C-alpha cells in the first residue's frame, strides 16, 4: 500500500531522510503538504515565501513524475481523509522541534497509530536530536559554549542522495491549487520588491552553499560582522523551509575546514547556534512565548505597540541610522543582517525598554527566513531574558557600533534615502514597499533620534538598577 509522505519544513529531495526511506521500500509514495493551523498562523512574509517554496518543490517532484498533493485543514483530519482515499498504510515525516509542531505531531502520531496506521518520524531538520545532547547531570544545555563543545566532534550522518525514482500510486488524490491558498495575500504591496531578494528552491539553495564555500567562507570570520558586505551564506531562508539540509551544510563546512579555509570553523559554530535554538525550544517550550527567565516578567517593559517610539522603530524612523537602515533592509529584502538584528533588538529592548515580544512579532511578520526557534532565541538573547543571554546592563551603543561595523557608512548610506541626492534603488524601494498611509517620502527630513543613544542607555540602566528581582 502507498506511503503518505507528509512534507513540512523539508521541501527537498536530496538528503531528505524520511523521503529516502519511503522511496527505498519500493512502495508508491504520495508527497503531501497540509496548510494546517500551524502554517496558516504564520506572518505575511514567511507565508508568502512558503508559497514560493511549495511551487518550486512541486515542480521538482513533477520532474520525477511525482506530485505534491496540497490540502488545507487540520493535520490529523486531512491525513486520515487521505489514508481513506488512497488506501495508504503508512504516514511518514521528518521531525520538527518547535512547541506548536511538537504538540501537533505528537497527537497525530498517537491517533494514526491507534487506527493501525504505520506513523513514523525521521531525524533531519537539525544536526542532533534535542534529547541526545545532555549534560553530565542528564540535563539539557542552557549555555551555548558547553553545548558547542558537546557536539562539535560528534558524527553527523552523511547526506543521503535524492531518491532516483519515486513510485507513483495507481491514481493521484485531488490536490488544492496553490493559487487558491493565496499565501501572498498579505504581501500584496511588498511582494514584487521582496521578490527580487529571495533565492528559492533546492537547486538554488545548493548553488548558494557552493558559492559560499567556494568563495566567501575563507573570510567569513570577519566579514560576517559587516552588514555592508556580502560575507555570509544567506542560507537561512532555505534552511527554515528545508530547501537544503543542515547536514549538507555541516559536511560542506567540515570539508572547507579540512581544506584550510579560515572561516569554516566559525561557520560550523553558527550552524550549531541554529541547533541550540531548537534544543532549547524543544526542552523548554516557553522559549518561544514567555520570558525564559521568569523574573523578567516583573521588569517595567513597555508592551504598548501604539507608542510613537515603537512605531518609529517599526518604520525605520528612529533617527538612529544603524537601526533605521536595518529596519528598512528587513522591509525591502525580507532579510536582515545578523549584526543589524542584534542592534535593532538591543535598541528596542534597552533604549526603548520595549518587551522583546513586540520585536519578535514584527520579525515573524517580515522575515522570509523566519524560524520559530532561532527568532525566539535571538530576541531572548538580545533582551537578557533568555537562558544564554547578553546581560541587560550590556547595552549596544548603536552609534559607536557604526564605527566598528560600518566605518565608511556604506550600509546606512545604502538604506537611508533622506538627505541624499542619489539614493540607491534599495533605499527608494523602501518607499515603494511601505503602505501609503504611513505618509513617508524620500524627500522628508531625516528625523532626530526618538531616544538618543546616551539618554536611552541611562534610562535602561536605571530601570535595571531599580528592578525588583
Ligand atoms: P550565516 O552567517 O551564513 O550562518 C549560516 C546559518 O547558521 C544561518 O543560515 C542560520 O541557519 C544559522 N545561524 C547563524 N547565526 C545564527 C544565530 N545567531 N542563531 C541561530 N542560527 C544561526 N535566524 C533565522 O534563521 N530565523 C530567524 O527568525 C532569526 N531571527 C533572529 C532574531 C534576532 C533578534 C537575532 C539576533 C537573530 C536571529 N536569527 C534568525 C539568527 C541570524 O541572524 C540569522 O540566522 C542569520 O542572520 C541568517 O543569515 P545567513 O544565512 O547569511 O547566516
CATH number at 220 reads 1.25.40.80
**Among 6, 439, 8, CA closest to 243:** 8
Q: Which atom of ligand 1 is nearest to the CA of 336?
A: 47
**Among 5, 195, 9, CA closest to 91:** 5
Ligand 1 contacts CB of residue 375 (under 6 A):
yes
The answer to whether position 393 is within a domain reads yes
Ligand 1 contacts CB of residue 314 (under 6 A):
no
By residue range, what is the domain housing residue 215?
126-155+201-283
Tally of residues, the chain: 469
Residue 468's pLDDT band (boundaries 50, 70, 90)?
A: confident
CA 49 to ligand 1 centroid distance, Å: 17
CA distance 372 to 341: 15
420 in the same domain as 364: yes
Alpha carbon of residue 61 to chain centroid: 24
ipTM of the complex: 0.99
Residue 218 burial (10 A CB sphere; 0-12, 13-18, 19+): middle
The residue out of 283, 303, 333 marking a domain boundary is 283
Ligand 1 contacts CB of residue 233 (under 6 A):
yes
CA distance 17 to 123: 7
- pLDDT at position 188 is 77
- Which residues, listed in sequence order, are joined to residue 239 by a DSSP beta bridge? none
Residue 190's pLDDT band (boundaries 50, 70, 90)?
A: confident
- pLDDT at position 133 is 98
Q: In the structure grid, which three cell numbers stand for residue 362, read together?
A: 514584527
142 in the same domain as 116: no
Using the predicted structure, report yes or no on whether residue 344 has a pLDDT greater than 90. Answer: yes
CA 39 to ligand 1 centroid distance, Å: 20
pLDDT tens track for 51-87: 999 999 999 999 999 999 999 999 999 999 999 999 9
Number of separate domains in the chain: 3
What do you get for the CA distance between the two ends of the chain, in Å? 60
- pLDDT at position 189 is 75
Residue 197 near residue 332, CB atoms below 8 Å: yes
Using the predicted structure, report yes or no on whether residue 308 has a pLDDT greater than 90. Answer: yes
Ligand 1 contacts CB of residue 457 (under 6 A):
no
The residue out of 252, 283, 314 marking a domain boundary is 283
The answer to whether position 187 is within a domain reads no
74 in the same domain as 32: yes
Ligand 1 contacts CB of residue 362 (under 6 A):
no
459 in the same domain as 354: yes
Q: Which atom of ligand 1 is nearest to the CA of 234?
A: 52
- Which residues, listed in sequence order, are joined to residue 69 by a DSSP beta bridge? 32
148 in the same domain as 102: no
- pLDDT at position 164 is 87
CA distance 338 to 321: 16
The answer to whether position 376 is within a domain reads yes
Nearest alpha carbon, ligand 1 atom 14:
270
CATH number at 317 reads 1.10.579.10
Amino acid at each position: 500500500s502507498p506511503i503518505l509522505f507528509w512534507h513540512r519544513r523539508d521541501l527537498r529531495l536530496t538528503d531528505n531522510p524520511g523521503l529516502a526511506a519511503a522511496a527505498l521500500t519500493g512502495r508508491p509514495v504520495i508527497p503531501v503538504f497540509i496548510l494546517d493551523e500551524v502554517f496558516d498562523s504564520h506572518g505575511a512574509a514567511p507565508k508568502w515565501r512558503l508559497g514560493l517554496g511549495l511551487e518550486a518543490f512541486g515542480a521538482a517532484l513533477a520532474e520525477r513524475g511525482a506530485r505534491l498533493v496540497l490540502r488545507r485543514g487540520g493535520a490529523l483530519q486531512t491525513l486520515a481523509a487521505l489514508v481513506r482515499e488512497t488506501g495508504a498504510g503508512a504516514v511518514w515525516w521528518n521531525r520538527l522541534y518547535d512547541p506548536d509542531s511538537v504538540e501537533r505531531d505528537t497527537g497525530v502520531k498517537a491517533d494514526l497509530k491507534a487506527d493501525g496506521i504505520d506513523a513514523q518520524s525521521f531525524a533531519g531538520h537539525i544536526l542532533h536530536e534535542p534529547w541526545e545532547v545532555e549534560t553530565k547531570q542528564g540535563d539539557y544545555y542552557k549555555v551555548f559554549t558547553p553545548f558547542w563543545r558537546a557536539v562539535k566532534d560528534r558524527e553527523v550522518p552523511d547526506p543521503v542522495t535524492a531518491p532516483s525514482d519515486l513510485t507513483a500510486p495507481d491514481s493521484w488524490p485531488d490536490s488544492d491549487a496553490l493559487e487558491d491558498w493565496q499565501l501572498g495575500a498579505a504581501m500584496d504591496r511588498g511582494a514584487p520588491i521582496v521578490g527580487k531578494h529571495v533565492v528559492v528552491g533546492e537547486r538554488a539553495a545548493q548553488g548558494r552553499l557552493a558559492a559560499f564555500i567556494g568563495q566567501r567562507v575563507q573570510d567569513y570570520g570577519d566579514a560576517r560582522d559587516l552588514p555592508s558586505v556580502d560575507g555570509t551564506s544567506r542560507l537561512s531562508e532555505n534552511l527554515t523551509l528545508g530547501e537544503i539540509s543542515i547536514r549538507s551544510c555541516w559536511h560542506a563546512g567540515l570539508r572547507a575546514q579540512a581544506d584550510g579555509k579560515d572561516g569554516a570553523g566559525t561557520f560550523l559554530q553558527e550552524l550549531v547556534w541554529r541547533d541550540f535554538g531548537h534544543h532549547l525550544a524543544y526542552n523548554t517550550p516557553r522559549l518561544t512565548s514567555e520570558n525564559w527567565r521568569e523574573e523578567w516578567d516583573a521588569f517595567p517593559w513597555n508592551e504598548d505597540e501604539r507608542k510613537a517610539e515603537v512605531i518609529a522603530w517599526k518604520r525605520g524612523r528612529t533617527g538612529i541610522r544603524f537601526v533605521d537602515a536595518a529596519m528598512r533592509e528587513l522591509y525591502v529584502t525580507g532579510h536582515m543582517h545578523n549584526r543589524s538584528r542584534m542592534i535593532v533588538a538591543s535598541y528596542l529592548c534597552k533604549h526603548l525598554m520595549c518587551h522583546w515580544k513586540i520585536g519578535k512579532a514584527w520579525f515573524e511578520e517580515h522575515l522570509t527566513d523566519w524560524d520559530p526557534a532561532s527568532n525566539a532565541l535571538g530576541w531572548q538573547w538580545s533582551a537578557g531574558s533568555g537562558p544564554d543571554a547578553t546581560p541587560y546592563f550590556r547595552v549596544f551603543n548603536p552609534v559607536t557600533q557604526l564605527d566598528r561595523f560600518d566605518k565608511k557608512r556604506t550600509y546606512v548610506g545604502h538604506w537611508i534615502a533622506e538627505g541624499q541626492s542619489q539614493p540607491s534603488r534599495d533605499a527608494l524601494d523602501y518607499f515603494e514597499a511601505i503602505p501609503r498611509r504611513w505618509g513617508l517620502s524620500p524627500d522628508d527630513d531625516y528625523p532626530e533620534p526618538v531616544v538618543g543613544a546616551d539618554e536611552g542607555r541611562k534610562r535602561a540602566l536605571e530601570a535595571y538598577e531599580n528592578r525588583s528581582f
